[in-house]
């Protein structure tokens, strides 16, 4: 999604949320756009840290290393982080970072040098009470460890809360690895209860961190996973797939399609399968005006960022399909990042059960708050979620006297 889309989106929302022109301007203006050129092996790579809004707390958002990273994209992602932390009701603002580089072309040593160079470039703007990065596309726990080390060497003191998604040995949190999927499970459980929804048949697009963990967690809770897919395609079994076996096949062969008893299907077919719940967990923009009419699921849990286009949203709303939007459905990841930061700030680390229980409480509360806000409204649940997030950011801005 380009930043133009963000601007259009705010203009569409303005009348529904009663936003003044000054409020719209504030919402579409990032606080700081930091740019640098990182030098590696005689070449220069553009790098960004965009701090969108910090009215509710320090900036928060991942760093991606990808050849297509650009300022416009980082700005859009930083905007969405501002809304996501508001929906999750955690005391952070929104930010995002990135480097325009193909990290797969780098050796381990080069990747370490790039990670350290990123921190050196943006160090004055980072810190546990300023701006707290995390992993994103092609950045890992190891990269967070190098970044922490560089920051602490430069600062001359420990500050583990300056970055999240760290390995456990350096102050990471238990449950962070499955947090996005587990948060989605808690949101869906609440929605199912509210709707008195009996359907148990789930189709999942994408079988990485979000999709695979969702498949395992839902199967453990008695749901039937009828289809899963990855970049090579999908598999379907009417009676349900044995998730553990599919995970083993994926790990051994690289694709879920190599699970022999599964009926092979395409990623497009998966989206319109006969199922009750659809969980897009891979790419953005996959549910469009072309296929939304054929979607049979009555609930869509958006673990991926931006999988549904605005045109498709309208069709799904008309067809009474409830879309649990990305900034709520996949907020489990940033919520456990917040827990990691809390543990770092206090120097006291929680047991796994405690992290899970707190995540459940947070996700349930976020869903229920939105559900009651939405009651009786003519617009869809996504719109209610966005309006709620924007109002929270604006309330903080007003109290600070900034608008």
Active site residues: 96
Cβ atoms of 59 and 131 within 8 Å: the answer is yes
Query: Mask 31-60, x = binds ligand NAD (CB under 6 A)?
Result: ------------------------------
Find the part of the chain contacting ligand NAD (CB under 6 A) among 42-50, 53-61, 75-83, 205-213. 205-213
230 binds ligand NAD (CB under 6 A): yes
Token pair recorded at residue 290: 């072309």
Instruction: Pick the binder of ligand NAD from 48, 151, 186, 207 (CB under 6 A).
Output: 207
Instruction: Pick the binder of ligand NAD from 7, 13, 283, 342 (CB under 6 A).
Output: 283
Least separation, in Å, of the C-beta of 150 and ligand NAD? 23
Q: Which residues contact 189 (CB under 8 A, 6 or more apart)?
A: 221
Find the part of the chain contacting ligand NAD (CB under 6 A) among 11-19, 194-202, 204-212, 308-316. 204-212
Q: Name which of 58 and 183 has its Cβ closer to ligand NAD.
A: 183
Q: Name which of 303 and 366 has its Cβ closer to ligand NAD.
A: 303
Least separation, in Å, of the C-beta of 81 and ligand NAD? 10
209 binds ligand NAD (CB under 6 A): yes
Number of residues that bind ligand NAD (CB under 6 A): 20
Residue 378 burial (CB count, 10 A)? 7
Instruction: Pick the binder of ligand NAD from 330, 343, 383, 385 (CB under 6 A).
Output: 330
At which residue do the structure tokens 């083993």 appear?
Answer: 248
180 binds ligand NAD (CB under 6 A): yes
Instruction: Pick the binder of ligand NAD from 206, 297, 299, 312 (CB under 6 A).
Output: 206
Q: Name which of 321 and 330 has its Cβ closer to ligand NAD.
A: 330
388: enclosing H helix or E strand: helix 381-399
146/142 Cα distance (integer angstroms): 6
344 binds ligand NAD (CB under 6 A): no
Q: Name which of 16 and 137 has its Cβ closer to ligand NAD.
A: 137
Instruction: Pick the binder of ligand NAD from 128, 142, 288, 305 (CB under 6 A).
Output: 305
Q: Output the CA–CA distances (angstroms, integers) from residue 285 to 67, 83, 128, 290, in the order listed.
A: 20, 19, 34, 11
Q: At CB < 8 A and 24+ separation, what contacts does 306-315 make?
A: 306/1, 307/205, 307/280, 307/282, 307/283, 308/280, 309/285, 310/9, 312/287, 312/288, 313/380, 313/382, 315/289
Find the part of the chain contacting ligand NAD (CB under 6 A) among 46-54, 99-107, 277-285, 378-386. 277-285
At which residue do the structure tokens 């910090």 appear?
Answer: 54
Q: What are phi and psi of 60, to 5 degrees?
A: -145, 135
Instruction: Pick the binder of ligand NAD from 145, 187, 210, 316 (CB under 6 A).
Output: 210
Cβ atoms of 94 and 52 within 8 Å: the answer is yes
Instruction: Pick the binder of ligand NAD from 20, 70, 129, 231 (CB under 6 A).
Output: 231
Cβ atoms of 66 and 33 within 8 Å: the answer is no
What SS3 state is found at 160? Answer: helix
Q: Which residues contact 221 (CB under 8 A, 6 or more apart)?
A: 185, 189
Q: What is the dihedral sign for C-alpha 52, 56, 59, 61?
A: negative
Token pair recorded at residue 81: 């982080």
301 binds ligand NAD (CB under 6 A): no
241 binds ligand NAD (CB under 6 A): no
Q: Which of residues 77-96 bind ligand NAD (CB under 6 A)?
A: none
Find the part of the chain contacting ligand NAD (CB under 6 A) among 120-128, 148-156, 303-311, 365-373. 303-311
Residue 224 burial (CB count, 10 A)? 18
Residue 180 burial (CB count, 10 A)? 23
194/100 Cα distance (integer angstroms): 44
What SS3 state is found at 156? Answer: coil
Q: Name which of 112 and 302 has its Cβ closer to ligand NAD.
A: 302
Give the binding site for ligand NAD (CB under 6 A): 180, 205-211, 229-231, 267, 281-283, 303-305, 330, 333
């Amino acid at each position: 999604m380009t930043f133009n889309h963000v601007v259009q989106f705010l203009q569409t929302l303005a009348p529904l949320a009663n936003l003044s022109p000054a409020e719209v301007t504030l919402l579409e203006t990032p606080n700081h756009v930091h740019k640098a050129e990182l030098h590696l092996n005689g070449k220069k790579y553009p790098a960004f840290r965009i701090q969108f809004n910090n009215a509710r707390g320090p900036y928060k958002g991942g760093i991606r290393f990808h050849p297509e990273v650009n300022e416009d994209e980082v700005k859009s992602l930083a905007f969405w982080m501002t809304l996501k932390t508001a929906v999750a009701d955690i005391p952070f603002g929104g930010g995002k970072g990135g480097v325009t580089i193909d990290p797969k072309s780098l050796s381990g040593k080069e990747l370490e040098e790039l990670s350290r160079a990123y921190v050196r470039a943006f160090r004055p703007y980072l810190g546990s009470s300023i701006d707290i990065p995390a992993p994103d596309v092609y950045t890992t726990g190891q990269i967070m460890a190098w970044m922490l080390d560089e920051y602490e060497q430069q600062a001359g003191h420990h500050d583990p809360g300056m970055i999240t998604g760290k390995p456990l040995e350096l102050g990471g949190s238990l449950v962070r690895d499955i947090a996005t999927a587990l948060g989605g499970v808690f949101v869906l459980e609440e929605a199912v209860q509210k709707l008195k929804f009996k359907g148990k048949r789930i189709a999942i697009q994408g079988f990485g961190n979000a999709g695979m963990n969702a498949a395992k967690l839902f199967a453990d809770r008695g749901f039937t996973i009828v289809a899963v897919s990855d970049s090579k395609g999908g598999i379907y079994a009417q009676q349900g797939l044995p998730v553990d076996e599919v995970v083993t096949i994926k790990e051994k062969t690289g694709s879920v399609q190599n699970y022999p008893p599964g009926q092979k299907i395409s990623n497009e077919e998966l989206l319109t399968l006969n199922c009750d719940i659809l969980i897009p967990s891979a790419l953005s923009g996959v549910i469009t005006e072309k296929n939304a009419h054929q979607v049979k699921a009555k609930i869509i849990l958006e673990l991926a960022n931006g999988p549904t286009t605005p045109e498709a949203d309208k069709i799904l709303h008309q067809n009474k399909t409830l879309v649990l939007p990305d900034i709520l459905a996949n907020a489990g990841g940033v919520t456990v990042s917040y827990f990691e930061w809390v543990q770092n700030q206090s120097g006291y680390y929680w047991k796994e059960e405690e992290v899970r229980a707190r995540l459940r409480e947070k996700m349930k509360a976020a869903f229920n708050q939105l559900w009651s806000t939405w009651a009786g409204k003519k617009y869809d649940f996504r719109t209610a979620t966005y309006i709620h997030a924007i109002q929270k950011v604006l309330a903080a801005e007003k109290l600070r006297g900034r608008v």
